[in-house]
């Protein structure tokens, strides 16, 4: 068994967990704002900039850059899209600061975004936007952003801990602040405890506890599971965004669940059911062009009507737009489908709604501070900016804006933090025993349990929910969780032991799944991504509440907190009176 002496101890000043848009921006801004000589360390579960989801952004970056569009309009779209649940101060700062951040990305980081004929930035409109607002680099925007950020961080004297998995937020002895983070150096399998004056958690969300999911394979909600154990309040935990068109290629391939981009439907792609008929107009006047949540529910409903066991999903069909045209316009998507044996340009490809983004997260203030001194949270790990639904293009804006803010704030706050804090050794020991638990049990297969969890979440806590279903889901989660504790992993060689990490991944997913189901039970109405068949109404906007979950002893307690309309009240707008409803030209 591992004892305390086998932990390597390491000190730094500013510790950043995660190397997506939030983590990398935090590292750069911390370096700019912290006093000279400040040690900055960045740790990541995979390789810097390579794992995580910022890199996977296809669509682009929402930012109001004139031409009639304003920060106010971007803000109103974000509030309307989030169905009045967003923390308005966070949403406002997101929209306002995005203007600075996009200039930083182009001018200082070196990104190059697509241009108009006149040399200015090209912007397009996604569903739910009232202006052409999304800056992009083809349909591979995330690669451009993360490659350029990664280079900047690699070239700077920032300490890098790659393939270091964070497993516990360790408080100080008096519990009043954070002391540091317990990690596993995945390459050696050894524990490393890193003390820091300030810690940014930017590990990304990634709801991979669903049968179909889009995020990167390393994403397993470790951040929120750690925050839960540290006693931090989490908000909007019922809000899981499903992307309507995930690739369906069979259970045995990791390709299943990956996204076929939104633009396919925008360009006129048709969704066809098992009987060969288009169906989206049965659900919404906008047909296939309706927002993600609406299309996901339409597909899910069609799937339930189908009794043919050989066909699970529905089909996306592009051929009527001309195969050559499709090949040209969606080169990357066509090639991706082709590589796994599907003809997107002329044939039809089976698709299914797929868990994409997690709106819920740690409760933070507009400066990314949490209720635990020294701990900051940014990006998908933080809740509040998107409310019940995130608009396409607001995700990478959120992570880069708040990552930068976290870097600035940590660089400033650290000036008032004289010394590192001694850890609560009891918590440290209990986090280690939690991690080594599987070595004390007979080795078994972890994967079948993960599949069971994914099936349970998809069936009972998924696109459409009921109290009966979620209660059933909770029972299944508890059972899977118990069986995981009896499933062992051989501890003979811990170096790069993926099976141990599969176990820890599933541990995080079980913990967070329970909170999703409980928060889903607590919200007895239907807003944005959360749809209750037994409570289909949205409820009165003026009485909007958000859910807040917190670990208490062995259980999780969920409360309802009133939304504070600090900037605009439901039914009102901050746009001038004569402003048109939308600036987007009708198609």
Partner 1 sequence: MDQKDNTLKVTVSRGTSGEQFEQEFEVPAYENQTVLDVVSWIQQNSDPTLSYRFACRVGMCGSCAMMVNGEPRWTCRTHVKKVVRKNTLSIAPLRNLPVVKDLAADMTPFFDKWVDAEGYHHPTRTRHDPMQEVTPNDEERNRANAGIECINCAVCYAACDTVANNDAYLGPAALQRAWTLYNDQKNENGQAILDAVSRDGGCHSCHSMGSCSLYCPNELDPMSAIAGLKRETAKNLFRRRR
Binding footprint of partner 1 on the chain (CB under 8 A): 46-48, 50-52, 55-56, 100-101, 103-104, 106-110, 112, 115-121, 137, 140, 142-144, 147-148, 151-152, 154-155, 187, 216-218, 249-250, 252-255, 258, 336, 339-341, 443, 445-447, 489-490, 492-493, 495-499, 502
Instruction: Point out which residues pair with 487 in neighbouring strands.
Output: none
Active-site residue 243, yes or no?
yes
Beta strands 314-317 and 270-272: pairing type?
antiparallel
Residue with smaller CB distance to partner 1, 13 or 185 = 185
Tell which residue, 48, 43, 50, 49, has the closest CA to residue 164. 43
Residue with smaller CB distance to partner 1, 493 or 552 = 493
Residue with smaller CB distance to partner 1, 124 or 286 = 124
Residue with smaller CB distance to partner 1, 202 or 549 = 202
Residue with smaller CB distance to partner 1, 113 or 242 = 113
- Strands in 178-185's sheet, in edge-to-edge order, are 7-11, 190-195, 178-185, 164-171
**What is the signed CA dihedral for 74, 80, 81, 87, rounded to 10 degrees?**
80
Min dist. Cβ of residue 49 to partner 1 (A): 8
Question: Could you say which of 93, 235, 265, 532 is catalytic?
Answer: 265
**Contact (CB, 8 A) for 228 and 556:** yes
Q: How many residues does the chain have?
A: 587
Burial of 545 (0-12, 13-18, 19+ CB in 10 A): middle
Min dist. Cβ of residue 217 to partner 1 (A): 6
- How far is residue 259's CA from residue 292's CA, in Å, rounded to a whole number? 12
Min dist. Cβ of residue 210 to partner 1 (A): 15
Residue position matching structure tokens 């280690």: 432
Active-site residue 122, yes or no?
no
Beta strands 134-135 and 61-62: pairing type?
antiparallel
Helix residue ranges per DSSP H, 423-466: 425-436, 447-460
Min dist. Cβ of residue 409 to partner 1 (A): 17
Min dist. Cβ of residue 414 to partner 1 (A): 22
Residue with smaller CB distance to partner 1, 308 or 587 = 308
Min dist. Cβ of residue 580 to partner 1 (A): 27
Beta strands 7-11 and 190-195: pairing type?
parallel
Give the H or E element holding residue 199.
Answer: strand 198-201
Distances (CA, A) of 502 to 19, 189, 483, 490, 497: 21, 14, 14, 12, 9
Min dist. Cβ of residue 495 to partner 1 (A): 6
Min dist. Cβ of residue 12 to partner 1 (A): 20
> Left if phi > 0, otherwise alpha if psi is -120 to 50, otherwise beta: which for 278?
beta
Residue with smaller CB distance to partner 1, 97 or 293 = 97
The two counts, helices (H) then strands (E), for the chain are: 14, 20
Residue with smaller CB distance to partner 1, 506 or 563 = 506
Structure tokens at 493: 């060689």
DSSP state of 41: E
Residue with smaller CB distance to partner 1, 200 or 249 = 249
- Strands in 270-272's sheet, in edge-to-edge order, are 240-247, 348-358, 314-317, 270-272
Question: Reduced to 3 states, what is the DSSP secondary structure of residue 208?
Answer: coil
Residue with smaller CB distance to partner 1, 259 or 280 = 259
Distances (CA, A) of 187 to 8, 164, 195, 445, 491: 14, 8, 20, 22, 14
Question: Could you say which of 73, 243, 390, 532 is catalytic?
Answer: 243
Beta strands 164-171 and 159-161: pairing type?
unpaired
- How far is residue 62's CA from residue 344's CA, in Å, rounded to a whole number? 28
**What is the signed CA dihedral for 54, 58, 61, 62, rounded to 10 degrees?**
-130
Min dist. Cβ of residue 140 to partner 1 (A): 6
Min dist. Cβ of residue 337 to partner 1 (A): 11
Which of the residues are catalytic?
243, 265
């Amino acid at each position: 068994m591992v004892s305390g002496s086998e932990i390597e101890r390491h000190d730094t000043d500013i510790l950043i967990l995660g190397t997506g848009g939030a983590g990398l921006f935090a590292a750069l801004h911390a370096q700019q704002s912290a006093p000279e000589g400040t040690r900055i360390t960045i740790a990541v579960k995979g390789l810097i900039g390579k794992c995580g989801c910022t890199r996977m952004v296809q669509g682009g970056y929402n930012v109001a850059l004139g031409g009639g569009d304003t920060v106010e309009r971007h803000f109103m779209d974000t509030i309307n899209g989030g169905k009045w649940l967003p923390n308005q101060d966070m949403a406002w700062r997101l929209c306002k600061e995005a203007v600075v951040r996009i200039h930083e990305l182009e001018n200082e980081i070196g990104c190059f975004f697509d241009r108009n004929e006149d040399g200015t930035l090209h912007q397009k409109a996604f569903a739910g936007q009232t202006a052409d607002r999304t800056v992009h680099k083809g349909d591979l925007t995330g690669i451009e952003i993360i490659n350029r950020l990664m280079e900047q961080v690699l070239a700077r004297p920032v300490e890098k801990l790659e393939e270091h998995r964070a497993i516990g937020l360790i408080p100080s002895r008096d519990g009043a602040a954070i002391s540091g983070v317990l990690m596993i150096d995945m390459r050696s399998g050894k524990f490393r405890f890193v003390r820091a004056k300030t810690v940014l958690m930017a590990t990304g969300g990634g709801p991979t506890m669903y049968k179909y999911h889009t995020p990167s394979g390393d994403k397993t909600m470790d951040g929120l599971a750690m925050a839960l154990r540290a006693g931090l309040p989490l908000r909007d935990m019922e809000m899981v965004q499903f992307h309507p068109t995930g690739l369906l290629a069979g259970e045995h391939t990791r390709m299943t669940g990956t996204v076929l981009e939104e633009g396919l439907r925008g360009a006129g792609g048709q969704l066809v059911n098992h009987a060969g008929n288009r169906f989206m107009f049965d659900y919404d006047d906008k047909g296939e062009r309706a927002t993600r949540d609406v299309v996901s529910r339409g597909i899910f409903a069609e799937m339930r009507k189908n009794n043919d066991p050989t066909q699970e999903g529905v089909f996306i069909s592009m051929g009527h737009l001309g195969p050559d045209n499709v090949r040209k316009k969606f080169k990357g998507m066509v090639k991706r489908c082709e590589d796994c044996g599907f003809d997107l340009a002329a044939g039809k490809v089976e698709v299914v709604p797929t868990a994409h983004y997690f709106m819920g997260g740690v409760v933070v203030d507009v400066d990314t501070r949490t209720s635990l001194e020294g701990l900051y949270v940014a990006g998908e790990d933080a809740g509040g900016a998107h409310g019940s639904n995130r608009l396409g293009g607001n995700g990478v804006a959120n992570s880069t804006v708040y990552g930068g803010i976290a870097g600035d704030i940590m660089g400033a706050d650290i000036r008032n933090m004289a010394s590192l804090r001694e850890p609560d050794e009891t918590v440290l020991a209990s986090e280690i025993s939690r991690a080594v638990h599987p070595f004390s049990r007979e080795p078994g297969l972890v994967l079948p349990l993960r599949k069971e969890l994914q099936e349970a979440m998809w069936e009972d806590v998924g696109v459409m929910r009921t109290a009966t279903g979620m209660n059933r889901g909770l029972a299944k989660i508890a059972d899977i969780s118990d069986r995981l504790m009896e499933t062992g992993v051989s501890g003979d060689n811990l170096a790069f032991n993926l099976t141990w990490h599969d176990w820890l991944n599933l541990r995080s997913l079980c913990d967070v799944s329970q909170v999703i189901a409980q928060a889903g039970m607590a919200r007895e109405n239907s807003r944005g991504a959360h749809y209750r068949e037994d409570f289909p109404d949205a409820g009165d906007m003026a009485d909007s509440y958000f859910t807040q979950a917190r670990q208490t002893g062995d259980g999780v307690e969920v409360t309802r907190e009133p939304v504070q309309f600090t900037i605009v009240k439901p039914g009102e707008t901050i746009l001038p009176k004569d402003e048109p409803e939308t600036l987007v030209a009708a198609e």
